[in-house]
Amino acid sequence: MCIFCKIAKKEEKAYVVYENERAMAFLDINPLSKGHTLVIPKEHYENILQVPSDIAKDLHEAIKAVCEKLKVFNPDGFNIVSNIGRQAGQVIMHAHIHVIPRYKDEEGKPISFGKPIKVDLEEVYKALV
């Protein structure tokens, strides 16, 4: 059983800050900012693309509830991200969404996706529609 499944079943300790029927939120053990929280489906799915839409609704409720709770720290914004696949930085193969409050005076930089690349948008568009 994966570590997040164990947390979901309360077999492993975590600072759980919110839960509903099918989603749970707990503090990231290595926070990127004060209040960095992870939102997971209680059931195991490898990533958020595998999560059925009705469960995604509970995840969305959890994200909103967490952001509301995090207002106690007066954040100036949030990054809400989910890494899918190792190339994208996913380490824990149980779907999770990072809720990272951002502060004007924090040392860490907000998440950046790097420099834009040159690509033929017309060609990309045609491949997608």
CB of 118 to ligand 5GP, least distance (A): 29
**Do residues 42 and 23 touch, judged by C-beta distance below 8 A?**
yes
| Residue whose entry in the numeric block shows the structure tokens 């693309």 | 49
Min dist. Cβ of residue 91 to ligand 5GP (A) = 4
Nearer to ligand 5GP by Cβ, of 111 and 124: the residue is 111
**Alpha carbon distances (Å) from 84 to 2, 7, 66, 94:** 16, 20, 21, 10
**Closest approach of Zn ion to the CB of residue 57, in Å:** 20
**Edge-to-edge strand ranges of the sheet holding 23-27:** 16-19, 23-27, 37-41, 97-102, 77-81
Considering beta carbons, is residue 113 or 125 the nearer one to ligand 5GP? Answer: 113
| C-alpha Rg value of the chain to the nearest Å | 16
Q: Which does 5 bind (CB under 5 to 8 A by kind): ligand 5GP, Zn ion, none?
A: Zn ion
- The active-site residue out of 36, 94, 96, 98 is 96
Footprint of Zn ion (CB under 5 A): 2, 4-5, 44, 94
